[in-house]
């Protein structure tokens, strides 16, 4: 059998059913692996070993009685530390909330528990999902399993690092400007930002009310579909939640891409923000593979990457300031330097500028919608560079914003990032697929076809 720590959620579920592995055995194995590896990676803020073992024992007993809640029954999950998990701290990686204990579960956690999942603990993030990677916070920043001297992306950094390193098969993250897809890109895993409104954000500490999304990080596309099946659904108490018939997100995974039309947004990485040559080569190879699989790939044009990013920045800064202003006035020293620097510009954005950004946002949405009338899915860059060294602050500051993820927080379209190859330095390079509203199933379909046709999902970091 595959080493237990490299089992996908789907494989673990099948092993439980076949009685070749039990949830308790898997959790114990992962706890031992965490003890050995996490001192090098800092993926966890809070490991809940006792709670995980209790939940695994419950799942095992239910399996023995023939009660299987679903394909995530007994499957371990890591949770970004901006999600409330009852009785555990929700610190947001910040001194500001260092003593905050959650009283109830976030809706997404409730749904995972209903599906039988085992919550392993809380994972590292950037401070309030914004300020990082930083060394002046109560907890150290997470590190990249492919090379622990490099960052793992963020802000769902511990979730990405933990999935990549085999500390848990799947995890939850949040995505406001790319924070699920950045760790997926840096760590060579799958990160899916669902359609805006598809997954409830209630019980998740907000960064930007109109840009925030909740999504899964996994090692395979099939597991991303399983996670989305578990956490999607209308929540009338989340103002951004949408009632939709979208469900069964893995139903198209085996269909392939024959006769699908793929729109390649080349100008993002060729002219708007020229990418590292190895990223460019990886994207061209993705295009070639999809064409070989039967898709039609054509070049398409969207508004400039700079315009999308500018609108994202105005909206995010304004809404984040509205959340953090009282604490920033009363206890600014409790924030890390990076988070404080990134929050303060919101104080100087006028109401007129915010409203103007929201109006231009509607025009950008219309432009993307217009292109998606002629193609089924967009193909574009995610990160423009492989991950930089954590100790190289100038290079991290230069490369971290070099990305094409923010446009789809502005528009709310579903977007998935995944591994497209390895750089000459042994670090992942990535690709992003984007689809129509609530057609997450087709985005997953294209990603699954690329995954089947390439070896990258079978590659693991050389960490043990």
How does strand 377-380 pair with strand 296-299? unpaired
Q: Across residues 325-353, what is the average pLDDT?
A: 98
DSSP 234: -
Respond yes or no: is residue 459 known to be catalytic: no
The catalytic position among 94, 159, 179, 185 is 179
Per DSSP, what are the bridge partners of residue 403? 383
| Residue 194: HSE in the Cβ half-sphere, 13 Å Cα cutoff | 32
Question: Which 3 state secondary structure label does DSSP give 398?
Answer: helix
Query: In the numeric block, which tokens belong to residue 439?
Result: 């057609």
| CA distance from start to end of the chain | 17
Respond yes or no: is residue 179 known to be catalytic: yes
145 and 125 Cβ atoms separated by less than 8 Å: no
How far apart are alpha carbons 157 and 294 in whole angstroms? 35
170 and 144 Cβ atoms separated by less than 8 Å: no
Q: Across residues 221-226, what is the average pLDDT?
A: 98
Task: Examine the pLDDT at 2 and tell me if it is beyond 80.
Answer: no
pLDDT for the residue 191: 98
Residues 6+ apart with CB under 8 A from 291: 297
How far apart are alpha carbons 42 and 40 in whole angstroms? 6
Degrees, nearest 5: CA angle 360-365-366: 95
- The model's pLDDT over 57-116, given as tens digits with 9 standing for 90+, comes to 999 999 999 999 999 999 999 999 999 999 999 999 999 999 999 999 999 999 999 999
Tokens 């057609």 map to which residue?
A: 439
List C-alpha distances in Å: 193 to 58, 74, 397, 432, 464: 31, 24, 24, 11, 29
Question: Which 3 state secondary structure label does DSSP give 250?
Answer: coil
- The model's pLDDT over 395-437, given as tens digits with 9 standing for 90+, comes to 999 999 999 999 999 999 999 999 999 999 999 999 999 999 9
Q: Across residues 320-338, what is the average pLDDT?
A: 98
Task: Examine the pLDDT at 1 and tell me if it is beyond 80.
Answer: no
Q: Across residues 1-21, what is the average pLDDT?
A: 93
Q: Across residues 35-54, what is the average pLDDT?
A: 98
Q: Which has the closest alpha carbon to 433: 249, 218, 264, 319?
A: 264
Helix ranges (DSSP H) in 5-132: 9-18, 23-41, 49-64, 107-114
Task: Examine the pLDDT at 3 and tell me if it is beyond 70.
Answer: yes
Q: Across residues 201-206, what is the average pLDDT?
A: 98
How far apart are alpha carbons 167 and 29 in whole angstroms? 9
Respond yes or no: is residue 80 known to be catalytic: yes
The catalytic position among 22, 134, 155, 387 is 155
State in words which class domain 4-458 has: alpha beta
Q: What is the pTM of this model?
A: 0.98
- The model's pLDDT over 275-291, given as tens digits with 9 standing for 90+, comes to 999 999 999 999 999 99
Q: Where are the domains of the chain?
A: 4-458
Mean residue pLDDT across the chain: 97
Q: Across residues 460-464, what is the average pLDDT?
A: 91
> Model confidence at 274, in pLDDT bands (50, 70, 90)?
very high
- Give the H/E segment covering residue 76: strand 76-80
Quick one: 3 exposed, middle or buried, by C-beta within 10 A (0-12, 13-18, 19+)? exposed
The catalytic position among 10, 13, 80, 94 is 80
> Model confidence at 464, in pLDDT bands (50, 70, 90)?
confident
Query: In the numeric block, which tokens belong to residue 294?
Result: 């039967």
- The model's pLDDT over 133-192, given as tens digits with 9 standing for 90+, comes to 999 999 999 999 999 999 999 999 999 999 999 999 999 999 999 999 999 999 999 999
Tokens 């802000």 map to which residue?
A: 155
How far apart are alpha carbons 406 and 82 in whole angstroms? 20
How far apart are alpha carbons 125 and 156 in whole angstroms? 5
How far apart are alpha carbons 160 and 167 in whole angstroms? 10
Question: Which 3 state secondary structure label does DSSP give 351?
Answer: helix
183 and 175 Cβ atoms separated by less than 8 Å: no
Peptide bond into 31 cis (omega under 30): no
388 and 381 Cβ atoms separated by less than 8 Å: no
């Amino acid at each position: 059998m595959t080493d237990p720590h490299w089992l996908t959620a789907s494989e673990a579920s099948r092993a439980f059913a076949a009685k070749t592995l039990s949830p308790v055995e898997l959790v114990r194995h992962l706890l031992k692996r965490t003890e050995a590896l996490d001192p090098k990676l800092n993926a966890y803020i809070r490991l809940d070993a006792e709670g995980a073992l209790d939940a695994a024992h419950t799942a095992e007993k239910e399996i023995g009685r023939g009660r299987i809640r679903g394909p995530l029954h007994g499957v371990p999950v890591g949770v970004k530390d901006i999600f409330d998990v009852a009785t555990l701290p929700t610190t947001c990686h910040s001194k500001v909330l260092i003593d905050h204990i959650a009283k109830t579960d976030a809706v997404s956690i409730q749904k995972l528990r209903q599906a039988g999942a085992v919550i392993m603990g809380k994972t590292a993030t950037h401070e309030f999902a914004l300020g990082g990677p930083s060394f002046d916070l109560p907890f150290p920043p997470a590190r990249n399993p492919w090379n622990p001297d490099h960052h793992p992306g963020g802000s769902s950094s511990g979730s990405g690092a933990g999935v990549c390193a085999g500390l848990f098969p799947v995890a939850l993250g949040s995505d406001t400007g790319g924070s699920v897809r950045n760790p997926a890109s840096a760590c060579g895993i799958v990160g899916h930002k669902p359609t805006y409104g598809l997954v409830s954000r209630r019980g998740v500490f907000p960064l930007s009310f109109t840009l925030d999304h909740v999504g899964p990080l996994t090692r395979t596309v099939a597991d991303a579909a399983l996670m989305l099946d578990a956490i999607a659904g209308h929540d009338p108490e989340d103002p951004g939640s949408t009632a939709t018939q979208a469900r069964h997100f893995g139903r198209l995974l085996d269909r392939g891409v024959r006769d699908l039309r793929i729109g390649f947004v080349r100008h993002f990485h060729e002219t708007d923000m020229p990418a590292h040559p190895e990223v460019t080569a990886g994207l061209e190879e993705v295009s070639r593979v999809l064409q070989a699989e039967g898709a039609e790939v054509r070049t398409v044009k969207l508004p400039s990457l700079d315009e999308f990013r500018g609108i994202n920045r105005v909206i995010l800064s304004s809404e984040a300031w509205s959340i953090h202003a009282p604490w920033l006035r009363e206890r600014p020293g409790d924030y890390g330097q990076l988070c404080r620097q990134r929050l303060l510009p919101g104080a100087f954005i006028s109401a007129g500028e915010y409203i103007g950004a929201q109006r231009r946002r509607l025009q950008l949405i219309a432009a993307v919608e217009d292109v998606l009338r002629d193609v089924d899915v967009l193909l574009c860059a995610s990160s423009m560079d492989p991950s930089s060294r954590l100790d190289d602050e100038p290079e991290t500051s230069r490369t971290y914003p070099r990305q094409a993820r923010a446009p789809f927080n502005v528009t709310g379209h579903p977007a998935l990032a995944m591994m497209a190859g390895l750089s000459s330095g042994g670090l992942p390079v990535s690709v992003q697929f984007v689809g129509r509203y609530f057609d997450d199933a087709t985005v997953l379909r294209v990603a699954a076809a690329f995954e089947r046709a390439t070896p990258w999902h079978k590659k693991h970091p050389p960490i043990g």
